[in-house]
Structure 1
Amino acid sequence: MTLAAAAPLLTRGGLAGRGDRRPAPPPRIVHLGAGAFHRTHQAWFTARAHDADAWGIAAFTGRGPRVAEQLTAQDGLFTLVERGPDGDRFTVIDSVCEARPGAAHGRFIELMTAPETAVVTLTVTEAGYHLDARGDLDLHDSDVAADIAALRRGGAPTALRTPAGRLTDGLHRRHEAGAGPLAVVSCDNIPDNGGTLQRAVCALATACGWDATAWRVSFVATSVDRITPHTTEADLQLVTRATGWRDEAAVIAEPFADWVLSGDFPAGRPAWEDAGARFVDAVEPYEQRKLLMLNGGHLALAFRGLLRGHDTVAAAMADPVCRDALERFWDEAERTVHPAAEPAIYRAALVERFHNARIAHRLAQIAVDTATKLRVRVVPVIAAERAAGRDAAASLAIVADWATGIRTGAFGDGAVVEALADALLPGLHPADAALITGALAAPHDSKETPT
């Protein structure tokens, strides 16, 4: 029997038995996509607010019931391990008051139509938005079309397939119930995430015959930032040794955390600023900085690093060839980011964060949904460099590495150039498309020496 298996399960009752009472806060936030990042980010920010006892999170999973089952068994509690270069910090996060599988649509609607619900947050990844090449909801996507058909039939759908479908159904029913205003907060790495989600909801509502402009809802734009690697069995054993509790829902994160928000909260919100959140008039410079420099930088390291046999961000950073590819990409990306976001200062901080070898951020974890990621994290740099009369060589090298990795099976499924082009080129400026086509046709040499 392992140490973790012999330890008592982390629960609110267990903590109370040791003199640490943590009653569950009432549900006022509904979250879609209860994965690890939500727990290290939004749940952590909420738990650190001075009014946290009034703001419980009802979290719904996106792809399966496992996380919901783990959190439910632990009364919503989980341990956050903040992993710095010199040691770990263990904190029990108690802001999740309820966890449900994504299929529990009936409970989702109950919460969406409750007047007490004030905020809806989402972390469903870029692919979860089902966008077309223009960045709009793809009404021809099979899952989107199935949701529209189900919503048009009326009644109580029990198996909607997309986050946009579930959210639109909930907002429509809230409007019909007269339950009051709320804010919807996208926390995903897509440009103009608040506006993109709003347009997706409006398009889906229109397809269902509803007028979303009459709904009392605001869409808040955000930039979110915290590296959250996959939790391993060794991590769970470590949590037990450090805390004495068995915790199947523990998560790992770097110490750094950033959250920038822009928009209205008509029904109130937690005091997230207590944990360092910033509320600004325009989130775009911060969003651009994070998408291009951190997320784009991760792609540069992931593709080159996997081709060279590395498995983590820190390992790739220690390879001069990978580091050179990253620095040259950052030279291009830094020119693209608005100066208001202080990209040079952010770049210096990223070097330290990426070098944290105790954060085992797997390159294979980064190299998923790669076509979607390239379009929002690297292609804008190519476009900016080309428009400025430069060759975008470092950004195009990332595309070439991607093509090589796909073709050789280093990551993803084997594909032909035409399939790769179909994923990247639609909607691009012809000059940008020509540059990318060239990169796809002539993959970069991942073994080259640094310049």
Structure 2
Amino acid sequence: MAPPLTRAAVAAPAPPVRIVHMGLGAFHRAHQAWYTDRSSDAAAWGIAAFTGRSPQAAAELSAQDGLYTLIERGDDEDRAVIVPSISRALDGANMAAFRVHVSAPATAVVTLTVTEPGYHLRPDGEIDLDDPAVAADLRRLSAGPASAAPTTAPGRLLAGLEARRRGGAGPIAVVPCDNIPANGALVHRALTCLADEVDPALAHWMTENVAFVSTSVDRITPRATDADRAAAVALTGYADAAPVVAEPFTDWVLSGEFPAGRPDWESAGARIVADIAPFEQRKLWLLNGAHSLLAYLGILRGHGTVAEAVADSGCRDAVEGLWAEARRGMPAMLRAEDYCTALITRFANPRIAHHLHQIGMEGVSKLAVRIIPVARQERAAGRSARGCVVPLAAWTVLATRNRLPADAHAEAVRSAAHADDPVTALIALLDAELAADATFVDRIRRRAAELGGRQA
């Protein structure tokens, strides 16, 4: 039996906590925690990582002193590294510990990976104050922010920042790492909106002391399996209950200020830029857009993973059609065609089991930022947007057949799918302007009829 993975076993002391993370999951461990560990000053930057909806990851990692194995899965072999940057793994509901860490003078950065639904946004991208969970958090925070126990990520973060304000701990940077355009500005608006409702003095303090950094993150990270846990033992000699599997490729682009400092992430390959918008666009429209297309069209054609779907010429041709539209107007410095060529290789990796049902979750939120902007661009230029029609049509077919993966907007999707004109009603959930474009909607309707007859 392999010995358990612990700091004593591998002689890896815990770095002092200077980063707080919200949303402890596989992607954080394959990305931000990995970059921090590979930085030249890693010994000075430990992470206190808090879970989101489930405390399971905290329990598993706490038993291992925060250590875990990252398995890089290439086309023909696995490589493993033990990552020691998570100094503490904690239940996200432990607000006492969260306040302590966010308000500590040594803490300089808060990072987040909570996914789009975790921000409780309206379709226009602003926080939904009428959302029951957000409204409940507002009541808790307004009654006593110093001891409230909010349940949403924005509510918890605001409570942590309030503790920092009361403690006089000074400035801090908030760094969301979710696939949302201008994510730093989005979180800034959401927290300011909440703070205005709770205590205008907190909102004013945030203006003076909290920097919001926008990021673009890129690394395919499928869910780990029992086979991956066995692989971790074979590669390292230690039993790991919480290994992470990721592709070798990784990319991280950040834009914004860090008033209290940050790790030397550039030494690990990250890029700090003045304008992140082009990099966000490339990632969302090319990688994420193709992922959504492969998810919905691939499910209809009977596939289970990205590698299976991209090996299907019908899916591959559809991806190329989408990319031809998405690449239009992208600046030359992005090398978009080379990026797409690399993406095909990444998607085709047969040893990365990236499941289509996982990618297809939260379709309303994802399609709105991955496909809709390309379609709007194409239609505004007087073009057909035929490449964008395919993922939207496949999504509508799955919706009307009640075969969509889980979605926070599932009730609205079901209602639209049973409308007299389901295609128009479904597209209206994504974008009212495109739903009013009769020619475009008719193309989706006709393509959906074709796809509906080819279900597996």
Is the CA contact 1:292–1:378 (under 8 Å) kept in the aligned structure 2?
yes
1:381-412 per-position Cα deviation (integer Å, ceiling 9, x unaligned): 11000011101112122111001112223333
SS state at 2:437 partner: helix
> Equivalences for 1:331-342 in 2 at 5 Å?
331-335=324-328, 337-342=330-335
Give the letter for the 2:450 counterpart.
D
SS state at 1:111 partner: helix
> Equivalences for 1:122-161 in 2 at 5 Å?
122-154=112-144, 156-157=146-147, 159-161=149-151
Match for residue 24 of structure 1? Answer: 14
> Equivalences for 1:248-263 in 2 at 5 Å?
248-263=241-256
Distance in 1 between the 2:266 and 2:346 partners? 23
Cα distance, 1:129 vs structure 2: 1.1
- Identical columns (%): 49
Instruction: Show structure 1 runs of 5+ residues with no match.
Output: 1-5, 16-20
Cα distance, 1:173 vs structure 2: 2.1
Match for residue 219 of structure 1? Answer: 212
Distance in 1 between the 2:243 and 2:395 partners? 32
Match for residue 319 of structure 1? Answer: 312
Distance in 2 between the 1:282 and 1:144 partners? 31
Cα distance, 1:342 vs structure 2: 2.2
Match for residue 112 of structure 1? Answer: 102
Stretch moving more, 402-411 or 343-352: 402-411
Is the CA contact 1:285–1:340 (under 8 Å) kept in the aligned structure 2?
no
Distance in 2 between the 1:99 and 1:115 partners? 20
Give the letter for the 1:327 counterpart.
E
Match for residue 81 of structure 1? Answer: 71
CA RMSD of aligned residues (A): 2.0
Is the CA contact 1:103–1:158 (under 8 Å) kept in the aligned structure 2?
no
SS state at 1:92 partner: strand
Cα distance, 1:106 vs structure 2: 0.8
Match for residue 6 of structure 2? Answer: 11
Distance in 1 between the 2:254 and 2:449 partners? 38
Distance in 2 between the 1:422 and 1:104 partners? 41
Say if 2:57 is the partner of 1:61: no
Cα distance, 1:8 vs structure 2: 1.5
Cα distance, 1:9 vs structure 2: 1.1
Q: 2:263 aligns with which of 265, 270, 293?
A: 270
Distance in 1 between the 2:165 and 2:426 partners? 37
Say if 2:49 is the partner of 1:52: no
Match for residue 434 of structure 1? Answer: 437
Stretch moving more, 340-349 or 303-312: 340-349
Match for residue 403 of structure 2? Answer: 410
SS state at 1:189 partner: coil
Q: 2:180 aligns with which of 183, 190, 198?
A: 190
Change in Cα spacing, 1:255 to 1:427, as seen in structure 2 (3 Å) is closer
> Equivalences for 1:229-240 in 2 at 5 Å?
229-240=222-233
Give the letter for the 2:251 counterpart.
D
Is the CA contact 2:149–2:156 (under 8 Å) kept in the aligned structure 1?
no
TM-score when scaled to structure 2? 0.92
1:122-175 per-position Cα deviation (integer Å, ceiling 9, x unaligned): 000011111112111111111111111110001544531211111111112211
Distance in 2 between the 1:149 and 1:439 partners? 46
Give the letter for the 1:189 counterpart.
N
Match for residue 383 of structure 1? Answer: 376
Q: 1:297 aligns with which of 290, 293, 298?
A: 290
Distance in 2 between the 1:431 and 1:228 partners? 32
Is the CA contact 2:427–2:435 (under 8 Å) kept in the aligned structure 1?
no
Give the letter for the 2:160 counterpart.
G
Give the letter for the 1:113 counterpart.
S
Distance in 2 between the 1:393 and 1:272 partners? 40
Match for residue 33 of structure 1? Answer: 23
Distance in 2 between the 1:245 and 1:396 partners? 49
1:245-294 per-position Cα deviation (integer Å, ceiling 9, x unaligned): 11011000000000000111111100111110000100110011001100
Say if 2:386 is the partner of 1:393: yes
Query: Alignment length, in residue pairs?
Result: 439
Is the CA contact 2:18–2:46 (under 8 Å) kept in the aligned structure 1?
yes
Change in Cα spacing, 1:171 to 1:447, as seen in structure 2 (3 Å) is same
Distance in 1 between the 2:398 and 2:82 partners? 40
Change in Cα spacing, 1:422 to 1:205, as seen in structure 2 (3 Å) is farther
Give the letter for the 2:129 counterpart.
L
Stretch moving more, 319-328 or 417-426: 417-426
Cα distance, 1:339 vs structure 2: 3.8
Say if 2:438 is the partner of 1:445: no
Give the letter for the 1:62 counterpart.
G
Distance in 1 between the 2:423 and 2:122 partners? 15
1:405-449 per-position Cα deviation (integer Å, ceiling 9, x unaligned): 122233337832548866752684634543565466552533899
Distance in 2 between the 1:253 and 1:431 partners? 36
Instruction: Show structure 2 runs of 5+ residues with no match.
Output: none
Distance in 2 between the 1:293 and 1:205 partners? 36
Give the letter for the 1:251 counterpart.
V
Cα distance, 1:374 vs structure 2: 0.5
Give the letter for the 1:203 counterpart.
C
SS state at 1:121 partner: strand
